[in-house]
Structure 1
Amino acid sequence: MNLARRASAEFTGTGLLVAAVVGSGIAATRLSPDDVGLQLLENAVATALALAALILIFGPVSGAHLNPVVSAVDWWLGRPTRTGLAGRDLLAYALAQAAGAIGGAILANLMFGLPVVTAAATARSGANLWLAETVATGGLVLLIVALARSGRAVTAPAAVGAYIGAAYWWTSSTSFANPAVTIGRMFSDTFAGIAPASAPAFLAAQIAGGLLAVAAIAWWYPGSRPAASDVVVPRAQQEATPR
């Protein structure tokens, strides 16, 4: 499939993911205004289910990365066998994901009758949160590549959705685990928002998590197998361009 088609899938998929995260957060605060725990549960369940569905929709088109760290790891691991993203593909994916995430936050704001853009004011700072983002992102990438390298990529929609839904609860940061989602959530001052001043440290932690995952993959899943094209799920067709 040509790059424009795949990038548009990443744009739309990431946008709908952020719309699900932010929109379910808004709905949760309106439906359960006095119970933060219930709000988080509602937000987590909606996000996990939406993520699984979006992987099913866009996986055959672009691989359904929906996450710049996942795309970067796909590029890195695929270099030896030329099965992953090319450099220009990685750039296109990352830009599409970031733009889609911002669009998704705007869409959620509009669907719930809020101003188009509201800069988030929720501060999320502290070494414990940064550690949580490192762990959450590393675990997500490790899961995805482990599935691909063991021939179980078909289970990715359920597995990835379950992981993120659970990580909402077992990480102190509620598992953003995605630089594009972090950027998008700056544009909605709601339950799921993150203050712009808090975002750079989250982004750094997510990158660190991706690097740790690559090291873990080299140790636990060694070898250059032609499995990069199965991240997150097998793409229907690889673009026949030099890698």
Structure 2
Amino acid sequence: MTLGRRAASELLGTAFLVAAVIGSGIAASRLSPDDVGLQLLENSLITGAALIALILALQPVSAAFNPIVTLVEVGFGLVRIRDAGVLVVAQLAGGFLGALVANVMFDLDAISISGHDRTGGHLWLGEVVATFGLLLVVFGSVRSGRTETTAFAVGGYIAAAYWFTSSTSFANPAVTVARMFSDTFAGISPGSVPGFVLAQVGGGVLAYLAVRFLYSHPALPQETP
């Protein structure tokens, strides 16, 4: 598979993922304006369902949609270092595009910087836990040779993690940065982004170590040079 096709897959997948996160958040806040719990339920279910569909469709090409996942793939020898930078840029660009499209679809300004502050040790811990769990699910299914279950495992985990983590499980730097450009239900203020991203990196490092320990014999071959 050529790098260009993989990058295009990452861009499109991340764009649709962010559009699902932001768009469903806007729809939920309009359909259930007086019930935040119901808004979160609607947002989480749509995000989980979209992830399942996108991974099933794009997994044969490339379906990380997450810089942390891509960097851990580098650590496991599944992605070349020289390719990872291109894929991460594609994910970030896709996230921005998804945010812009979601805003416009709901008749909002294409870009509106979020004022939703999300900061504090408890939220950063939530992001460490959310990202650790996500990568454990992703690479647990991959390294045990059950890649056909990855889409359902990831979608189900994210839908659940919306609820059991204090941060509502962003668990993805590309999605986190993109949500900065929508001052809506799913938004995050620019000042809150660095703390979230650092927590996600920490969760990714811990997950990498845990997966290496738990799955010492990967079922899938390493990428050839």
Answer whether TM exceeds 0.5 for this pair: yes
2:197 matched residue in structure 1 = 203
Residue 115 of structure 2 is aligned to residue 121 of structure 1: yes
1:61 matched residue in structure 2 = 61
TM-score (structure 1 length as normaliser): 0.90
- The answer (yes or no) to whether the contact 2:145–2:219 under 8 Å persists in 1 is no
1:106 matched residue in structure 2 = 100
- The count of residues paired between Structure 1 and Structure 2 equals 225
1:215 matched residue in structure 2 = 209
1:182 matched residue in structure 2 = 176
1:9 matched residue in structure 2 = 9
- The answer (yes or no) to whether the contact 2:144–2:219 under 8 Å persists in 1 is no
Distance in 2, matches of 1:228 and 1:101, equals 30
Per-residue Cα deviation, 1:92-151 (whole angstroms, up to 9, x for no partner): 110000010011000000000000100010000000000000010011111111111111
Distance in 2, matches of 1:200 and 1:222, equals 33
2:43 matched residue in structure 1 = 43
- The answer (yes or no) to whether the contact 1:129–1:172 under 8 Å persists in 2 is yes
1:28-39 equivalent positions in 2, closer than 5 A: 28-39=28-39
- The answer (yes or no) to whether the contact 1:69–1:178 under 8 Å persists in 2 is yes
Return the letter of the residue paired with 1:159. A
1:23 matched residue in structure 2 = 23
- The answer (yes or no) to whether the contact 1:133–1:176 under 8 Å persists in 2 is yes
CA RMSD across the alignment = 1.2
1:165 matched residue in structure 2 = 159
- The answer (yes or no) to whether the contact 1:74–1:228 under 8 Å persists in 2 is no
- The answer (yes or no) to whether the contact 2:64–2:70 under 8 Å persists in 1 is yes
1:72 matched residue in structure 2 = 71
1:234 matched residue in structure 2 = none
Distance in 2, matches of 1:227 and 1:182, equals 30
Distance in 1, matches of 2:49 and 2:133, equals 19
TM-score (structure 2 length as normaliser): 0.97
Gaps spanning 5+ residues in structure 2: where? none
SS, match of residue 119 in structure 1: coil
- The answer (yes or no) to whether the contact 1:182–1:199 under 8 Å persists in 2 is yes
Distance 1:228 1:178, change over 3 A: farther
Distance in 1, matches of 2:70 and 2:89, equals 11
**Offset, 1:204:** 0.1
Distance in 1, matches of 2:128 and 2:220, equals 24
1:87 matched residue in structure 2 = 81
Distance in 2, matches of 1:127 and 1:68, equals 23
Per-residue Cα deviation, 1:8-52 (whole angstroms, up to 9, x for no partner): 010010000000000000000000000000000000000000010
- The answer (yes or no) to whether the contact 1:52–1:158 under 8 Å persists in 2 is yes
**Offset, 1:153:** 1.1
Distance 1:3 1:50, change over 3 A: same
Return the letter of the residue paired with 1:119. I
Gaps spanning 5+ residues in structure 1: where? 79-83, 230-237
1:235 matched residue in structure 2 = none
Distance in 1, matches of 2:131 and 2:221, equals 18
Q: Percent identity?
A: 55
Which of 146, 150, 154 is the equivalent residue of 1:152?
A: 146
Point out 4+ residue stretches in structure 1 off by more than 4 angstroms: none
